[in-house]
Amino acid sequence: MLPPLIEKKLQDLSTRHAELEKQLSDPALLSNQSLYRSVSRECGGLGKIVSSYQQYVKNAKELADNEELSRADDDPELGELAREEVTRLKPLVSQQAQDLTDRVLVEDKHADRNVIVEIRAGTGGDEAALFAADLFRMYSKFAEKKRWKTEVLDAHPTDLGGYREIVFSLAGDTVYGDLRYEVGGHRVQRVPTTETSGRIHTSAATVAVLTEPEEVEIEINESEDLRIDYYRAGGPGGQKVNKTSSAVRITHLPTGLVVAIQDETSQHKNRAKAMRVLRSRLYDQLENERQEKERSLRRDQIGSGDRNQRIRTYNFPQNRVTDHRIGMNFNLERVVKDGDLSELLHSLRGFDRDQRLKELSYK
C-alpha cells in the first residue's frame, strides 16, 4: 500500500489536475495563448500520474473487497474465486504503489519541460574546451536516441574544435526529468592530443540544465528592466560574422544577469535566443530561491542542482566513467562516444528514490 505522505501528495495532485481541467474548459483562457499553453502543459503532465493513481485506487479497492470475500465461510465457491483474484491483484497493486511512490519522490513539476543546457570549459585550457565539445556531442547523441530536438543557441568555438562555451536547447518528452542529474562539474582524465610526452592531464567543464519557462511565468518589462546592446560578433567564423552588428547583449537590470548571443547572423534571431536564455536563467534563479526557503527534500538529494559540485570523472585510459554521487562506474565508450546514458541515469534515479524514501522514514 502507499505510504500516507505519498497518498496525500497524490490526492493533492488529483485536486490540482481537476482545477486545471476546469480552467481549460473556460473559453476566456483561449484569449491568452501563452497562459493556455502553460496550463495545458501542466495539466497534461499531471494527467499521466493522476490516471495511474486512479487505476491504483480502483485495483486497491477491488483487492480489499476480494480479501474480505475470501474470508467468508458461507460460500466456499465464491471464497475460492475471491482468493484467485487476490493472488492476481496483490502483486499488481504492490507494483503500482511502488511506481507511484517513485514518481512522487523523484519526479517534479518540471519533469516534462524542455531545457536549455549550458556547457562551459573550466580548468585545462584547450583540453577543457575539447572536453566541453565531447560533452555536447554526448548529449546530442543521447537526444537523438530519445528523439528530442536539439537547437544550438550560442557557441564560442576554439581553433582546435572545442568550445569555451556552448548553449543549446533540447525539446521532447521528459527532457528535464532525464537530464536534471547532469548539473555540476564534470572532470576528464586523458592524454591530450597536443601532449607529446604522453602524460595524463586533468581538465574540467561545468554543465547547467535550465528549465525553459513559458513567457507568462516570467514577467519582464522590456522598456524598464532591460538594457540591450548590439555589437559585431567575434571569434572563429570568417569575416561575415564580423561585418554587421548582429551580436546581442541583454542585461537584466534588476538582477544584473547578462546574456550575450552571437550565433546567428540575424540580429533579430540573436535577440530572440537571448531572451529565451534570459527567461530560463531568471526562472532558475527564482526556483533556487524557492527551494532554499522551503528546504524541501529535493534540496538535499542528488538532483539539488549545485553547479559547484564535482559529480563525475571521465577516465579515458581506463575506459571508465565514475559518478561520485553514487560511487558507480560505467563504460566510457558507451556513455561518451555512443551517448548511451540510460544505465547511468537509471542508477541515479534509483539512488535518488532510495534516499528520499529514507528521508521520509525519519519524518
Q: What pLDDT, in 10s, does the model give residues 221-242? A: 888 999 999 888 765 544 444 5
Cβ distance 97 to 56 under 8 Å?
yes
If one compares 310 and 356, the residue with the highest pLDDT of the two is 310
- DSSP-assigned letter for residue 28: G
* Average of per-residue pLDDT across 329-344: 96
Beta strands in 273-319 (DSSP E): 310-315
For residue 334, the model assigns a pLDDT of: 97
* Pair 80, 69: CB distance under 8 Å: no
**pLDDT tens-digit map of 141-186:** 999 999 999 999 999 999 999 999 999 999 998 898 889 899 999 9
Boundaries of every domain in the chain? 4-106, 115-214+300-361, 217-292
Q: Position 80: which residue type? A: E
CB 119 within 8 A of CB 182: no
> Which amino acid appears at position 258 of this protein?
V
Q: How many C-alpha atoms does 342 have within 13 Å on its Cβ side?
A: 8
State how far the Cα of 19 lies from the Cα of 14, in Å rounded to an integer. Answer: 9
CATH class in words for 217-292: alpha beta
Average pLDDT over residues 278-283: 91
Question: How many percent of the chain have pLDDT more than 90?
Answer: 53
> What is the pLDDT, as a whole number, of residue 146?
95
Contact assessment for residue 133 and residue 119, using Cβ atoms and an 8 Å cutoff: no
Q: Is the pLDDT higher at 198 or at 164?
A: 164
- At which residue does the C-alpha cell 528514490 appear? 353
Strand, coil or helix: 117: strand
Q: Is the whole-model pTM more than 0.75?
A: no
Q: Is 53:10 a contact under the CB 8 Å cutoff?
A: yes
Structural contact between residues 153 and 261, judged by C-beta atoms closer than 8 angstroms: yes
∠328-171-164 over CA atoms, to 5°? 65
Enter the DSSP assignment of 333.
I
pLDDT band at 296 (very low <50, low <70, confident <90, very high): very low
Q: What is the pLDDT of residue 278?
A: 93
Other C-beta atoms lying within 10 Å of the C-beta of residue 71: 10
Helix 76-106 to helix 342-361 angle, to the nearest 10 degrees?
A: 100
Check pLDDT > 80 for residue 298: no
149, 171 Cβ separation under 8 angstroms: yes
**Architecture of the structural domain at 4-106:** Up-down Bundle (1.20)
Q: How much is the average pLDDT of 293-321? A: 69
Q: What is the mean pLDDT of residues 61-81?
A: 89
Q: How far apart are CA 19 and CA 334, in angstroms?
A: 44
Laid out side by side, the sheet with 247-252 consists of 226-231, 247-252, 257-261
DSSP state of 235: S
Q: How far apart are CA 206 and CA 122, in angstroms?
A: 7
- Per-chain mean pLDDT for the chain: 86
CATH 3.30.70.1660 for domain 115-214+300-361: yes
